[in-house]
């Protein structure tokens, strides 16, 4: 999907996340709306998890919001094949 249909419709993407706090067992909920100009179209989040030389998992939260251009399109209408996991790490499977 590209930004044109959403911007013309003046639509908003609403993300809702829910979970349970392990310590208190309380339900937690968050909701955030994004307009078309707040979405990084044709981008994806970078991988913030790496394994150190001694085998430990390292999560770099300083790069949590960093995105990179997506080299493969997930939109079937623009020739990308319509793959939901379209990214350079997951190349297209041979036909």
pLDDT tens track for 64-77: 889 999 876 544 44
Considering the domain architecture, whether residues 35 and 47 belong to the same structural domain is answered as: no
Domain assignment present for residue 86? The answer is no
pLDDT tens track for 39-86: 888 889 999 999 999 999 999 999 988 999 987 654 444 444 444 444
Considering the domain architecture, whether residues 30 and 55 belong to the same structural domain is answered as: no
Kindly state the DSSP code that residue 90 receives in the 8-state scheme.
B
Domain ranges, residue 10 = 1-39
Which residues, including other chains, have CB under 8 Å from residue 16's CB and lie 6 or more apart? 29, 30, 31
Domain assignment present for residue 82? The answer is no
Domain assignment present for residue 91? The answer is no
């Amino acid at each position: 999907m590209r930004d044109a249909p959403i911007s013309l419709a003046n639509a908003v993407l609403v993300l809702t996340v829910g979970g349970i706090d392990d310590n208190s067992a309380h339900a937690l909920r968050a909701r955030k709306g994004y307009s078309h100009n707040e979405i990084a179209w044709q981008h994806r989040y970078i991988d913030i998890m790496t394994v150190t030389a001694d085998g430990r998992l390292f999560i770099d939260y300083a790069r949590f919001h960093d995105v990179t251009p997506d080299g493969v399109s997930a939109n079937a209408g623009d020739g990308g094949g319509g793959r939901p996991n379209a990214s350079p790490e997951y190349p297209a499977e041979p036909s």
